[in-house]
A = this chain, B = another copy of it.
Amino acid sequence: MHKKLLIPGPTEVGSAILHEQTHPMIGHRSREFSEFYAGVTGKLAKLFELPAEYQPTTTTSSGTLWFDIVGRSIVKQRALCCVNGAFSQRFAEIVRSCGKQADFIEVEWGKVVKPEMVAEKLETGGYDTVTMCHNESSTGARSPVAEVGRLLKKDYPDTIFAVDSVSSMAGDWTLPHEMGVDVLFASTQKCFALPPGLAVAFANNRALERAKGILNRGGYTDILEIFEFEKKHQTPFTPNISLLYALDKRLDFMLAETYPHIYRRHKDMAEITQKWAEKHFAMFPEKGYESITVSCIKNTLGFNVKDLVQKLGERGFEIGNGYGKLAEKTFRIGHMGEWTTAGIKEVLNAVDEIWGLAK
């Protein structure tokens, strides 16, 4: 039996979108492709209300490639990396593995790095880039990206702000100019509700200016080459054409639903889940910083999460155990993409029944 996915990703993909992947192939250097791809990036620009100084792109990769792109093409010498979970840590470690200095501001899992903590470190000087993870899928914590963005714009205008929006973009409210970010990227298997294999990213002119001064950007990780090809509505390397068809259709759906409504739907799903969690358990993340796409719930009653995952699986739903060291101590419900409040209520009811929780 197929289990409908409520893990923090990949999320469930409906058959209409899956079938968009079956279009016959076309050449990626053809005029037909360029016209099609210009439509896709045009829809991205529209949905995310991109001002002229921001440009959209896609890469044939997971979102993680962008950790490397930031490490190779954006960080000059020294980055300040906000670390509050497994994915923000990986971002920081990859920047370091690209041969750049990466200083961590590390807080306990579940907490978020606050603007004042960033300000304090930046005052010591010498940082050319700040990295942050908007939505820490490992802990369900939502970082105050816009507040940090405002701080940087005001006091550190030469610092580039590169943000992982992998599990928040297009579910949470992620307009790059409102967030004050220079580079923002995501994977398609989260709130875009597509199969994995494609990343969506935005960069502004400041980020591209910065890249021009950096040596050894590589090929696949060269942000300048990516946006150079965007000018002719192509990609430097053969793209995943099937997934671009699926993305195109998804963007049609999203533009029809409208972003404010998509955001509201995700917020509603999160609020239902949080309310349920607070009644029986507790939310894992710091109060006020709960993700609206992935709820991470503290297993305060000490139930057997592995058993729950198994039993929910028998009912056709797949949720996530806690990540790494948080396994059994927490469990995670990803409510993103095609999911609605009705679906989430059904899943929570199933948990009530399995664990015998009073309604």
Assess the B318–A27 pair: CB atoms within 8 A. Answer: yes
Q: How far is the CA of A263 from the CA of B341 in the complex (A)?
A: 54
Whether the Cβ atoms of B25 and A22 lie closer than 8 Å is no
* Residue from B60, B219, B236 in contact with A196 in the complex, judged by beta carbons closer than 8 Å: B60
* A62 adjacent to chain B (CB < 8 Å): yes
A200 CB within 8 Å of chain B: no
Q: Is B97 a contact partner of A222 (Cβ separation < 8 A)?
A: yes
- How would residues 10 to 47 of chain A score, 1 for a CB under 8 Å from any chain B CB and 0 otherwise? 11110100110111111110100000000000000000
B221 A218 Cβ-Cβ under 8 A: yes
Which single member of B21, B60, B90, B99 contacts A18 (CB below 8 Å)? B21
Contacts of A187 in B (CB 8 A): 238
Distance (whole angstroms) from the CB of A200 to the closest CB of chain B: 14
The one of B25, B60, B218 in contact with A10, judged by C-beta atoms closer than 8 angstroms, is: B25
Residue of B nearest to A190 (CB): B238
**Contacts A9-B238, A238-B9, A241-B196 given; does A220 touch B61 at CB 8 Å:** yes
The contact of A22 among B22, B93, B222, by CB within 8 Å, is B22
CB-CB under 8 A from A243, the residues of chain B are 197, 240, 242
Residue contact B215 to A99, C-beta cutoff 8 Å: yes
A124 contacts B by Cβ under 8 Å: no
Q: Quick check: B28 and A24 within 8 Å, CB to CB? A: no
A27 to B8 alpha-carbon distance, docked (Å): 9
| A266 interfacial contact with B, CB 8 Å | no
Q: Is the CB of B240 within 8 A of A196?
A: yes
**Which B residues lie within 8 Å of A253 (CB)?**
none
Q: How far is the CA of A60 from the CA of B25 in the complex (A)?
A: 18
Q: In the complex, which of the residues B15, B97, B196, B318 contacts A238, with contact meaning CB atoms closer than 8 Å?
A: B196
- Most chain B CB within 10 A, of A65, A68, A195, is at A195
Instruction: Assess whether A142 is interfacial by the CB under 8 Å rule.
Output: no
Whether A28 lies near B10 (C-beta < 8 A) is yes
Is A180 on the interface with B (CB-CB < 8 A)?
no
Instruction: Give the chain B neighbours of A320 by CB distance below 8 A.
Output: 27
A2 cross-chain contacts in B, Cβ below 8 A: 24
A5 contacts the other chain (CB 8 A): yes
Question: Residues of B contacting A220 with CB < 8 Å?
Answer: 61-62, 64-65, 67-68, 94, 220-221
A56 within 8 A of B: no
CB of A306, distance to nearest CB on chain B (Å):
12
Contact A189 B25 (CB under 8 A): yes
Show 26 residue pairs from A and B whose CB-CB distance is below 8 angstroms, ordered by the A residue.
A3-B26, A5-B27, A13-B24, A15-B22, A18-B22, A19-B22, A27-B318, A60-B61, A61-B61, A62-B220, A62-B237, A62-B239, A64-B237, A64-B238, A65-B220, A65-B237, A68-B219, A71-B218, A90-B219, A94-B220, A196-B238, A197-B198, A197-B239, A197-B241, A220-B220, A240-B243
| 4 A-B pairs with the lowest CB-CB distances in the bound complex, closest first | A197-B240, A94-B219, A99-B216, A62-B237
